[in-house]
Amino acid sequence: MPDMLIRPGLPALAYDHRPGTGPTIVFLPGYGSDMTGGKATMLDAWAEANGRAMLRFDYRGCGASEGVFGEATLDDWRDDVLDIIDGLTEGPLLLVGSSLGGWVMLLVALERAERIIGLVGVAAAPDFTEWGFDEGQRATLQADGVIVNDSPDYETPEVITLPFWESGQANRLLDGEIAIDCPVRLLHGLEDRDVPPSIAFRLGRALRSADVQTLLVKGGDHRLSGPRELALLRDTVAGLTRTA
């Protein structure tokens, strides 16, 4: 059973915190995902084998955490991460964000710049409430307050609420400079049907950091969870922890 971070007046957050050396690796799951996914558990196993500090957790309304999924906004999940890292960790952090977690990763890095030594985005999806919805979907959100997106990459439909969409629109980053200066690595599949590879290029250009590398994976889909793709993620994280 995971441990729980108790927060008065807020949903408790499930987490698994592994002590170790170096910067604490913090994994930020994608939309509707949790800390039991393949990328998170692979990194945790690597951290255990190498004596590295690692923190996995579930956003409110996801996985083993308290809360209702459909009631959470992007701001809520950003604040969940801030509560987790402020309450459970000390010293430098290396954030790894998958899909929507890549957007949350950027928002957290802007809030805790002094602690972040590196970022790794895996199919990072900043601003997806802007580029990921057509006019018909936007109209449905306004009329019904919710929209359901089917994706071949997921077993269950993706449910987006109007409050979440509005929260995303208020936190867009790609149209201006993103004031992040640490090393950033962006891994992106060329066959990603959910987040176009062009988003990785836009993000790379928007980041203020002079140390940004975008790695495109031929044949890679949105999940990037095959053996070679997981090895790439592991090696990318290991490289940043060595240079920290």
Q: Which amino acids are annotated catalytic?
A: 99, 192, 222
Q: What are phi and psi of 86, to 5 degrees?
A: -70, -35
3 state DSSP class of 64: coil
Closest CA to 177 of 214, 208, 211: 208
Nearest to 233 by CA among 37, 62, 75: 37
The DSSP letter of residue 157 is: P
Dihedral Cα 93, 96, 99, 105, nearest 10 deg: 10
Tokens (6 digits) for 55:
């923190």
